Amino acid sequence: PSPAMGRRVVPPPPPPGVLEVVISYVVTHVDMAKLAVVIEMRKMTPGDKDTVIAGVFVLAMLLAQVTLVVLARFIARAVAGGPKEVEEPVSAQVAGLAWMMSAGITHPEKAEEEEDQDDIHTPVKIRPEDEAPDSPLGPPPTPFSPSGRQSVFYSKLTTHEHQRLREFRALLNKSAREDPTLLSTPALKRFANDATLCRYLRARDWNLKRAMKMLKASLQWRKAARPEFITWDDVKKEGEEGKQYLSGRDRHGRAVLIARPGRDGGREQASHVRFLIYTLEHATWSDTAEDDLPLGAHAEHTSEKLVVLINFTGWTLATAPPMKTARETLAILQEHYPERLAVAVCYNPPWIFAVFWKAISPFIDPNTYRKIRFVNPKREKEVRRMRQMFDMSCVDEDLGGDRSNAFDARAFGDKMRVFDARKAAVLKAKARR
């Protein structure tokens, strides 16, 4: 029989298309990648596995957050009938604010901007009993003197700033008369000196309403937390880990606070926050706070500023504080110690720190964000800048300095007890007045 009348001839299969080739390639390499991941995970310790899992989880949460924000904006634009005008890009220097905007977080200054926009030029009505009496000694004070001191005491303020300070003092006296708990103790009255009031005014661009709101919150916080009365024995367990301590001054005369989060062995939030408060009080303490000069916006603030040097050696996500603790720490630094941070240097952060940074950066005030610097010890230019800022004889070896990394907990404890005794004597003398 002929081939046409016999079995049917099957045509050869067509050559694979582009899509089939791509799919085959991806499947093959995905299987290889899975195998490589399994092999690597078998080599990991349980701690390393926990760190990887935590990192993947945080990245997934961030991706989900960004996806929800983009979806919400797309729906809002569709409902509004078209896209809105494109905003001008924000510079990299204020990337923290850009992240807050993309995450849908409104900065508190923006929320109150319309309400308080005229406050800068609105004087406060000052009652005679709210003003401090003029000083009978020496040259007569200026007409704007808020505490009866001689004119030279306010030489670091402009006339406008001097007036704002006078109005702010009167507003505080009025608020204290309405709420006696604001200045109910000698320690609170000592805290609310002219220098402190100027720091709160500078932090809120000399806006009286916003500065008063911030100061009231701090006075209420200090009344509850009593930071002046925390002693070394109260935080000894945290302090002996050597994770926070003062280390001299930088080349500009600013106090240097060294933080070592890799040495943090505890996860208890209350003790961590309490030790942070004790350290900040030590770093900012002044035996003669009443005599600290009030400083204006353009004055030299070296005497009031801190430089925080954070050594990330040994830091992992396992030693990172819980998010609640990190947020409370930021709140304390930004809301109750305003205008204290000069610059924060993050030395040698590991790559996994980027995960934690992305999670916490939306809660950082833009002004604070601008003061944060990262130093990679492998980059000569960054190391050179660090040496220009710090006296390396006061910096530990693992930070590129000349001092030993060893931490003598007993010697440090003795030093802090001496400080506690001096502080207690000052507060006792203030209470007797």
pLDDT tens digits, 138-179? 343 444 444 556 678 889 999 999 999 999 999 999 999 999
Q: Tell me which H or E stretch contains 374.
A: strand 372-375
Per-residue pLDDT reduced to its tens digit, 28-66? 665 665 566 656 666 667 666 666 676 676 677 667 666
Asked if the model's pLDDT at residue 430 lies above 80, the reply is: yes
Asked if the model's pLDDT at residue 17 lies above 90, the reply is: no
Mean of pLDDT values over 114-130: 42
Are 367 and 343 spatial neighbours (Cβ–Cβ below 8 Å)? no
Residue 274 or residue 132, greater confidence: 274
Residue 46 or residue 92, greater confidence: 46
**Residue 208 pLDDT class (50, 70, 90 cuts):** very high
Query: What does DSSP assign to residue 139?
Result: S
The CA-based dihedral angle spanning residues 393, 395, 397, 403, taken in that order and rounded to the nearest 10 degrees:
50
Are 155 and 161 spatial neighbours (Cβ–Cβ below 8 Å)? no
Asked if the model's pLDDT at residue 128 lies above 60, the reply is: no
Which tokens go with 372? 């944060």
Mean of pLDDT values over 294-307: 91
Are 423 and 191 spatial neighbours (Cβ–Cβ below 8 Å)? no
First-residue to last-residue Cα distance in the chain? 127
User: In sequence order, what DSSP letters do the residues of 85-122 get, joined into one string?
Assistant: PPPPPPPGGGHHHHHHHHTTPPPHHHHTHHHHTTGGG-
**Residue 99 pLDDT class (50, 70, 90 cuts):** very low
Contacts of residues 280-284 at CB distance under 8 Å and 24 or more positions apart, as own/partner, are: 280/227, 280/332, 280/333, 280/337, 280/340, 281/227, 281/228, 281/230, 282/246, 282/416, 282/419, 283/246, 283/255, 283/257, 284/337, 284/340
Q: What is the CA radius of gyration of the chain?
A: 29
Predicted TM-score (pTM) of this structure: 0.66
User: Which pLDDT score, from 0 to 100, does residue 375 have?
Assistant: 87
Which tokens go with 100? 């807050």
